[in-house]
A and B are shown apart, each in its own frame.
Chain A
Amino acid sequence: MKDTNMQNPKISAKGVQVYYGDNQAIKDVNVEIADKTVTAFIGPSGCGKSTFLRCLNRMNDTIDICRVTGEILIDGEDIYDAKVDPVQLRAKVGMVFQKPNPFPKSIYDNVAYGPKIHGLARNKAELDEIVEKSLRKAALWNEAKDRLDKPGTGLSGGQQQRLCIARAIATAPEILLMDEPCSALDPIATAQVEELIDELRQSYSVVIVTHSMQQAARVSQKTAFFHLGSLVEYDDTDKIFTNPQDPRTESYISGRIG
C-alpha cells in the first residue's frame, strides 16, 4: 500500500485483525485517518468496512464472540489498552447508525441524553445551550425549535437521522463515525445529510461507511476500499476514483464486482 504520508494522524490502525468466533472478518488492516477530514470506507457488502468502523469506538465489544487484535491509536493512545474505558472512548468517538434510531423520548431529551450521562452541563441553561448548538450544527434547529418536547420518533426519516447526528455531536466528540447514514433515506434527505457531513468536517474527523460510490466521491477527501476483509487501497478520493492502483479497486469502481 502506498504511504499516505500523513502528519499527526487522528486515528492510526496497525495490523488490525477481527474475528467472529473462528471467522476472520478483518485481515491485517493498516490505515491512518486525518483530523478535519471526511474519510470514506467503500467496498462490496460483507467486505468488513462496517466491522472495521465499529472497532474504532469499540462497539464490537458488545458482541460476545467478537475478538480484535492489533493496535488502534487515537491521538497516539491505544484504545484497546486495558486501561481505556470504552464508555469514555465512545464519548470522544461518536457514532451515527445506518437506520435512524432516536430514543422514544422528546427531541430535547434525545439530544440532552449524552451530555447528561457524561455530565457535560452544570445546569439547565448550559444544557439548553448544548442542545441548541448541537441541533444548529445538525441543521435541525429551525425545524425542531418549536417542538423540542415532541417525541423524536415523530420526525421524518431525514430529520430523525439529523437528530441522531445532533445527538452524537452533543457529547462533544472529536471523531464521528457514520455507518451508511443515508441508506434508509430518500434522495432529498440524503442530499441534506451529505451537505451536513461536509460542514461537520470543519470541526471533526468524520469516517463514513457507504455502499454508494457517488456518495463517497461527493463527500470525502480520502477513500479506503475494502475487499474480503482486507484494505485494498487507501488514497485521496479523486485518485481512487480516477486512477486506482489496484485492479480490484478498478473493477469495483467500474461496477464489475460488488
Chain B
Amino acid sequence: MLMLPLYVPLLVTATLACLGYLLAKQRAIALSGGDIRSLAALPHQYGLNTLLAITVPSLAVLLGGALAGGGSMLGWIVIGVATLCLIGSLAQISHDYRARTHAESWIKLLLIGASVIAILTTVGIVFSMLFETRNFFTQYSWQDFFFSAEWSPNFRGDSALGILPLLWGTLYISFIALVFAVPTGMFAAIYLSEYASPRMRSIAKPAIEILAGIPTIVYGLFALITVGPFLRDYFASPMGFGDSASSVMTAGLVMGIMLIPFVSSLSDDIINAVPQAMRDGSLGLGATKSETIRQVVLPAALPGVVGAILLAASRAIGETMIVVLGAGAAARLSLNPFEAMTTVTVKIVSQLTGDTDFASPETLVAFALGLTLFVITLGLNVLALTIVRKYREQYE
C-alpha cells in the first residue's frame, strides 16, 4: 500500500477532530430539544469530548508507531483509528452521558503523557548509548577501554582507545576550573549578601548573572582568541612551559569564569538558608562578621556548599565547547597545566563528526565515552541533589 508522508494522517486526524466537535455538539443540542439543561453536560463539552476522543488515541498510535520504527502502514492505521474513534464517540452521546467528566479524563491522559516524556527522554538517553556501547565492546575489549593509558585512533583500524588520558584531561581541567570558581564564587556570594551596600549589590548581582546567561560557545571563543594567546605569551613561553595556546590552564580558567555565577548563586541560596538567629547569636557574643561567617554560617551551610560544589563539578566535567576550543586535541597524561590536553567531551565531538564509518570502533567509542560521562555526571548530580535537599529540609 502507498506509504503516506507524516503530515497526511495528522491533517486527516485534525479534520476528523473538528468535524467530530461540530457533529457532537449538534447532536447534543438536537437531543436536548431546545432545553440544554436536560443534558448532563454543556453542548460544547460534548464536542470537546469527541474531539479529544479522536485526537488522543490517534496521536498515541502515531507517536508510538513512529518510535517503534514507523512501517509503511502507520499512516493508514492512524487514519483508521481516528475514524473509528469518531464513530464510537458520536454513538455514545445521550442525555445522561457525562461528557465533561469524560473530556477531563482525556485531558488528564494528555497531561500524564506529557510528564512521561521526561522519563522517556532518560530511557532514550540510556538506551541509545547502551546499545551502541555494546556494539563497541564487541569490537574492542572493555579492559583496554577503561584501563589503557593510550589514546590514538587510527583511520585504518587497529586504534588504541584508552579512556584514561581523556579522563585525566577532563578531571585536571575541571579541577583548575573549580579551584578558581569555588573560592571566587563563594567570596562573591558572601560579600554580596553580608557586606555590599544595596547600590553595589544592584550593580554586581546582575553583572554576575550576565556571566551565567552567556552561551558556552562565547566562552570558547574567548579562550581561543584571548585567554589562550595571553597565557602562552606571558606565562607559558617565558617560563618555559611550552608554547601551546590551547592548554589545560586556558580551558580551566575560562571554565572557572563560566562557573562563578553558578557557584555564587547556589552559595547565595545556601548562605541565606542559615537562619538569622544563628548569626545574631554569634554577633551578640562579640564575634566579628567574618568570624560569624567562617565559624558559624559556613559550618552550618557545609552540606549545602558541598552539594553546590558537586553540581559545579558535574557541570565542568560535562562542558564541551570551552574545551573543544580551549583545551586542544592531544590525548596526554601530563602534569604541566600549560600543555594541550583533551577531554572526554572533545573526543565525543571529534569521533562523531569525523568521516569514519559509523560502525567502526573509532566512531562507536564515542557512545562508550558518552555513557561514561553520563554515569559520572548522573552520580554527581544525584549525590549533590540529595545532599542539598536534606540540607534544605533541615532549616525548613
Contacts and interface: CB of A to CB of B under 8 A. Distances in A.
B295 A57 contact: no
A105 B299 contact: yes
A101 B278 contact: yes
A62 B279 CA distance: 10
A108 B275 CA distance: 21
Given A64-B198, A113-B295, A117-B291, A101 B286 contact: no
Interface in A108-155: 113-114, 117-118
B277 interface: yes
Contacts of B288: 87, 117
Given A64-B198, A89-B286, A103 B278 contact: yes
A101 B281 CA distance: 6
A90 interface: yes
B287 interface: yes
Contact of A118 (B281, B283, B286, B300): B286
A168 B285 contact: yes
A27 interface: no
Chain A interface residue count: which class? Answer: 20 to 34
A170 B176 CA distance: 43
B286 A59 contact: no
Interface residues of B, number: 19
Interface string B50-75: 00000000000000000000000000
Contact of B285 (A62, A99, A105, A113): A113
A89 B286 CA distance: 7
B282 A59 contact: no
A96 B278 CA distance: 12
Contacts of A59: 280, 283-284
Given A64-B198, A113-B295, A117-B291, A103 B286 contact: no
A90 B283 contact: yes
Interface string B183-227: 000000000000000100000000000000000000000000000
A213 B126 CA distance: 68
A97 interface: yes
Nearest to B291: A117
Given A59-B280, A97-B280, A104 B299 contact: yes
B29 interface: no
A88 B283 CA distance: 11
Contacts of B277: 97, 99, 101
Interface string B261-276: 0000000000000010
B296 interface: yes
A162 interface: no
A95 interface: yes
Interface of B: 198, 275, 277-288, 291, 295-296, 299-300
24 contacts: A86-B286, A87-B288, A90-B283, A90-B285, A91-B285, A94-B284, A97-B277, A97-B281, A97-B284, A101-B278, A101-B280, A103-B278, A103-B282, A103-B296, A113-B282, A114-B285, A114-B286, A117-B285, A117-B287, A117-B295, A118-B286, A164-B281, A168-B284, A171-B285
